[in-house]
Amino acid sequence: MTTPHILVAGGGPSGLAAALAAARCGASVTLIEPHPVLGGMGTAGLVNNFCGGYHDRSRFLIGGIFGELRQRMIAAHALYETRRMEPYEPEVYHRTWSEMLAEAGVQTQLGRRLQNLTELPDSRLQVNLDNGSQLLVDGVVDATGDGLIAHMAGVKRQLGRDGDGAVMPVTMCYRFTGLDIEAAAAGWPSHVDPVNGHTRPVYTDPHSGERNFFHSGHSDFIDPLIVQERAAGRLSIPRDHVAVIQGVPGCPGDATVNFGRVFIDDPTDPEQMARAQAAGEAQVHDGIAFFRRCFPGFENIRLVTMARAMGVRQSYQIDGQYRLTAEDCLSQRQFEDVIAQCNYMIDIHEPGSDKTTCQLLPHGTHYDIPWRCLIPRQGPARLIVAGRCISADAGAMASFRVQAPAMAIGEAAGIGIALAAQRGVALADLGHEAVQERLRAVGAVLE
Ligand SMILES: Cc1cc2nc3c(=O)[nH]c(=O)nc-3n(C[C@H](O)[C@H](O)[C@H](O)COP(=O)(O)OP(=O)(O)OC[C@H]3O[C@@H](n4cnc5c(N)ncnc54)[C@H](O)[C@@H]3O)c2cc1C
């Protein structure tokens, strides 16, 4: 058997897991990522948090590469272990991925974009990069978040939700420093954080002994302040709560923030994104000024950096062999061709509104993500899609879009494409059993 060459487009959580999984299956792998950093939204978007879709509050639902990465991050004191929402240090996250990819022999090209691809009669794919170079590969993983490569190859995709095509708003996340943790501990009222169960926003990480800050979701303290400041014309962000303020592991006093909200029709349109970026940047300064005015311990915070990339929650879903639905998620549906499990809530940041709609799955339950959602219904024989843009309706994607499920989907995609290329078959003919067998062998959780 010759060594197949696989190209992975996109270095977000799904593309990274796909590249690593394919290389560990014996493929020669090239990973292409436009940003100068690995991690996609997890670093370039400053979304430095694993949401709780990988633990159902009684067992881990996601193992494999995600489990391994998580253990490395814990050992590096770069992740607070809570099994719900786990903040991590983004630079260590990038470095950990770099090491894991290098150990597996993945050729990583940062600052590069895949621009075009053509399927040849023998099912190989000719791929053009934006530096003019050309590669001939045996399979491609589209992990661009937008189904961009699939679209170039003629795969149908759908923007946003059914009916009006609306997508969730985009957000410019940021990191600040200068938070006085003890002043926050003394000045913030007690409340139960429904996400992490902390009774106060300042807590002590049991592993490192570090004191740090974490807030997520609605709050009896913050939400009325938002109403008051918006009514007084001092705050312009159209959101009724602060989604996340999370202390950065290893850097007490630093925190990253997910608070802004910019409405957009199509986040893949560069002109719309340029306008959204300007609005998102203005919201960063607005948010920091609000925190300084209103939050104990935040009086002297200052901006360290905005995210390299505007945070995109949703754009296109590809038309795949199966379309996962919100109903499948809420009814905890199990599929014979399961490649990953998920327990994360359906979390919809409402388009055109300051509200967020959440529908939780009960503790101890999950739904399955089927293999067929990764395979385009039409298109090149060896093109697979990973991450948030797999085949699903808007409700289902609002659940599995978080980072750990994205990695689990990516791992399955990487295994599938490597096996199909090694065997010289189309993805549609590979059979999910081969993918499941390998997933089980490498510690993925399927049942
Ligand atoms: C504001 C915000 C807050 C969030 N909060 C959380 C959270 O707290 N916890 C959590 O777990 N998840 C969170 N998420 C969700 C999560 O970050 C994303 O859904 C997840 O990163 C999706 O992974 P992905 O690999 O599919 O895509 P992405 O992370 O979007 O990665 C796609 C990659 O493809 C690259 N790419 C694009 N075009 C090309 C091309 N032509 N060639 C090559 N590469 C290309 C991009 O540069 C990017 O790096 C949040 C998302 C947002 C936007």
- Report the percentage of the chain scoring pLDDT > 70: 98
The helix or strand, by DSSP H or E, that contains position 148, with its residue range, turns out to be helix 148-152
User: Which of 403, 407, 411 most suits a substitution to test ligand 1, by most atoms within 8 Å of the C-beta?
Assistant: 403
Q: For the chain, what is the mean pLDDT?
A: 96
Residue 299 alpha carbon to ligand 1 centre in Å: 32
User: Which of 14, 47, 241 most suits a substitution to test ligand 1, by most atoms within 8 Å of the C-beta?
Assistant: 47
pLDDT at 195 exceeding the cut of 60: no
Residue 220 alpha carbon to ligand 1 centre in Å: 31
- Residue 260 pLDDT: 97
pLDDT digits (tens, 9 = 90+) for 221-244: 999 999 999 999 999 999 999 999
Q: Both tokens of residue 54?
A: 């990988």
Residue 374: DSSP 8-state: G
Strands 28-33 and 5-9: parallel
SS3 33: strand
5-163+314-349+360-441: CATH superfamily: FAD/NAD(P)-binding domain (3.50.50.60)
Q: Which atom of ligand 1 is nearest to the CA of 44?
A: 49
By C-alpha distance, which of 52, 48, 37, 51 is closest to 89?
A: 48
Q: pLDDT band for position 293 (50/70/90)?
A: very high
pLDDT at 198 exceeding the cut of 70: no
Residue ranges of domains in the chain: 5-163+314-349+360-441, 174-306
Q: Which atom of ligand 1 is nearest to the CA of 115?
A: 41
- Whether the Cβ atoms of residue 374 and residue 413 lie closer than 8 Å to each other: yes
Taking CA atoms only, the protein residue closest to ligand 1 atom 48 is 40
SS3 157: strand
Please tell me the distance from the alpha carbon of residue 86 to that of residue 48, in angstroms, as a whole number: 8
Sheet of 114-119, strands arranged across: 114-119, 125-129, 134-137
Q: Where are the alpha helices (DSSP H) in 40-110?
A: 64-75, 90-104
Q: Which atom of ligand 1 is nearest to the CA of 53?
A: 11
Residue 401 alpha carbon to ligand 1 centre in Å: 8
Average pLDDT of the residues in 8-29: 98
pLDDT digits (tens, 9 = 90+) for 31-72: 999 999 999 999 999 999 999 899 998 999 999 999 999 999
Residue 190 alpha carbon to ligand 1 centre in Å: 33
Please tell me the distance from the alpha carbon of residue 77 to that of residue 81, in angstroms, as a whole number: 10
